[in-house]
Structure 1
Amino acid sequence: MFDTMTLTKLASGLLGAWLVLLLGKWVGEEVYHAEAHGEQSYAIEIEGAEEEEPEEELDFAALMDVADPASGERVFRKCSACHKIAAGENNVGPYLHGVVGRQIAAVDGFNYSGALADIDAAWTPDELSAFLENPKGYAPGTTMGFAGLKKPEERADLIAYLDTLDD
């Protein structure tokens, strides 16, 4: 029923049709590409439309003044899968006892990624907030797989809690 020549013709027809489809898609994208060509020449004014006001910048120091360490302890549950509080007890991540004010990548016996080891700074509340908001953005190449805490209030509460851990 099927010999080698029939299978070759069938495969050639399918692959040829697929190639035509891909080439057609490529040509269509080149012709009808949605990218703007240069600057917008004019803007259409809409009556009654108001300009959006920019959001207020949150002062992180003011958030730290009203931060609740008890709420931060609840937020720490997200961190507890990889970090321990007790001094000297590293887990997947380094221990967090005394982290506020400690030099970045300063825990003995923990193998930090090069992204953090190259930073010469201390974990101030502002540095911790920037790191906790987006670890991959703060230190590109870090091995920390946490997505981050987007709410500044949660970050402030967590940092206040971590600050209460050391004497």
Structure 2
Amino acid sequence: MFDTMTLTKILGAGCGALLLFLMGSWAAEELYHMGGGHGDGEHLAGYVIEVESAGEVEEVEEVNIVELIAAADIGKGEKVFGKCKACHKLEDGANGTGPHLFNTVNRDKGSIEGFGYSTTLAEMEGNWGYEELNAFLTNPKGYVKGTKMSFSGLKKDADRANLIAYLETIK
């Protein structure tokens, strides 16, 4: 089937491949050795990454939205509204993809007749006060589970305060 010369070539090729693999492994270890001992458990990484321990909790600064709204810039709020106007209109009764925002501040939640609110929002009680608007505008889907609103929210406190102050002027 195979003559001696063919078997010798096959065996030589296998030994050569093994030798190349071992030499490559040795060369890589020499080039990229990360220090430490063999199995001493220390110094196995090239550098240390500092992380907070599970016991430390980062303090989150509470935002007083009422104070921010009192100092808000209505002109900037009008600019922030540019992110809303694709779905919302300011004219009374003029619904778009979202309900109109005429007289929104302190209006009952889910109270626009003829607008198809999500069930969760339609069943919510209370008014759209400063705190409620701030929470909703921060994270609509977090504030109203199941909301149809696809907007992810306004992350900057000042943007939310400016927008709420602007909406308060729309009456």
Question: What TM-score, normalized by structure 2, do the two folds share?
Answer: 0.65
Give the letter for the 2:130 counterpart. P
Per the alignment, residue 110 of structure 1 pairs with: 115
Question: Secondary structure, in 3 states, of the residue corresponding to 2:69?
Answer: helix
Q: Structure 1 residue 145 and structure 2 residue 150: aligned?
A: yes
Q: Distance in 1 between matches of 2:136 and 2:62?
A: 18
Cα–Cα, structure 1 residues 62 and 141, in superposed 2: closer, same or farther, change >3 Å? same
Tell me how large the CA RMSD over aligned residues is: 1.6
- CA drift at 1:56: 2.9
Q: Structure 1 residue 85 and structure 2 residue 90: aligned?
A: yes
Kindly tell me the number of residue pairs found equivalent between the two proteins.
Answer: 117
Task: Give runs of ≥4 in structure 1 deviating > 3 Å.
Answer: none
Give the letter for the 1:153 counterpart. A
Q: Distance in 1 between matches of 2:150 and 2:102?
A: 20
Q: Distance in 1 between matches of 2:91 and 2:101?
A: 7
Cα–Cα, structure 1 residues 130 and 55, in superposed 2: closer, same or farther, change >3 Å? closer
Question: What TM-score, normalized by structure 1, do the two folds share?
Answer: 0.67
Q: Distance in 1 between matches of 2:103 and 2:67?
A: 22
Q: Distance in 1 between matches of 2:81 and 2:139?
A: 16
Q: Distance in 1 between matches of 2:62 and 2:147?
A: 27
Cα–Cα, structure 1 residues 55 and 111, in superposed 2: closer, same or farther, change >3 Å? closer
Which ranges in structure 2 are unaligned for 5 or more consecutive residues? 1-49, 51-55
- CA drift at 1:54: 2.8
Q: Distance in 2 between matches of 1:56 and 1:146?
A: 24
- CA drift at 1:116: 0.3
Per the alignment, residue 132 of structure 1 pairs with: 137
Which ranges in structure 1 are unaligned for 5 or more consecutive residues? 1-45
Specify the structure having the higher radius of gyration (Cα).
Answer: 2
Deviations, residues 101-131 of structure 1 (Å, cap 9, x unaligned): 1000000110111010111010001100100
Q: Distance in 2 between matches of 1:155 and 1:111?
A: 25
